Amino acid sequence: MAPAASFQRDFALGEAQRKHDKPRVIVTGGSGKLGRATVAHLSESWEVISIDTKRPPGVSEDGKSGLNGAYRLVEIDLQDMGAVIEAFHSTDMGYAGIDAVVHLAAIPSPGQTNSSTQFRTNVMSTYNVLEACRKLGIKNIVLASSETLIGIPFDPHPPDYLPIDEATPRRPESAYSLSKLVGETIAEEYTRWDPAAKIVSLRFSNVMLPAEYGNFESWQDDPMLRYWNCWGYIGKSSLYSEKQVHQC
């Protein structure tokens, strides 16, 4: 009898043959503000693999606990296509096979680095994620776009109408928002190439977690403090829905 292989289709090299009864989702940017909340929510019914270049607060030295509910943290640079494909396929002693991807990783707002670095990082990461999904046959994908590509800050150009919706013209006013516009455009072409691919780009507004709700009162007396995005924000309870992964 031939000896057993050290890996199988459903198990990575060196991975214990554990019971696996949940679908598996990768969350890129899982250590960030939006990512941590998304990981915690999805982990209730998904096996979550968090991908980031940084570790979240409180993670253990071996990166296997303190992950807000994620099963594993894989630390890679999403600008490295080889690393992306490898991580989306399997990781030794960790997992093999991915059912869905939630791509949140990015340099998250204008002004955090020079504009060309921000644009290159965000666009290249999004391309690599989508191309890895195409090559590996991963069909369910959610992308973090941004409210900023519709003209934020609305000064000196006010919005054409309120409330703002999906039909609002796209008017990027920074390298960051331009990178998000390019990301949406890339996604549109990937769904044209493969009609079976389901990709949703979510234009998240200013993300506010419960610890920040106490700031709301201080904004009530001066409407100009939040005029820049027409007083919009998104709370934790609105950040996610499992349908966005199952039916995206």
The CATH number for 83's domain is 3.40.50.720
d(C-alpha 156, C-alpha 139), whole Å: 40
* pLDDT at res. 216: 84
Supply the pTM of this predicted model. 0.88
Residue 154 lies in a domain: yes
pLDDT along the chain (248 residues), means of 10: 65 78 95 91 95 88 82 96 97 92 93 94 98 98 93 85 88 94 97 97 86 84 83 70 45
* pLDDT at res. 163: 87
Residue 4 lies in a domain: no
* pLDDT at res. 7: 64
Residue 5 lies in a domain: no
Contact 96, 89 (CB under 8 A): yes
Residue 107 lies in a domain: yes
Total domain count, the chain: 1
Residue 173 lies in a domain: yes
Residue 85 lies in a domain: yes
Residue 7 lies in a domain: no
Tokens of 170: 């796209």
* pLDDT at res. 190: 98
* pLDDT at res. 13: 79
Contact 144, 103 (CB under 8 A): yes
Residue 15 lies in a domain: no
Q: Name the H helices within the chain.
A: 33-42, 81-89, 115-136, 175-193, 242-246
In which domain, by residue range, is 171 found? 24-246
**R_g (Cα) of the chain, nearest Å:** 19
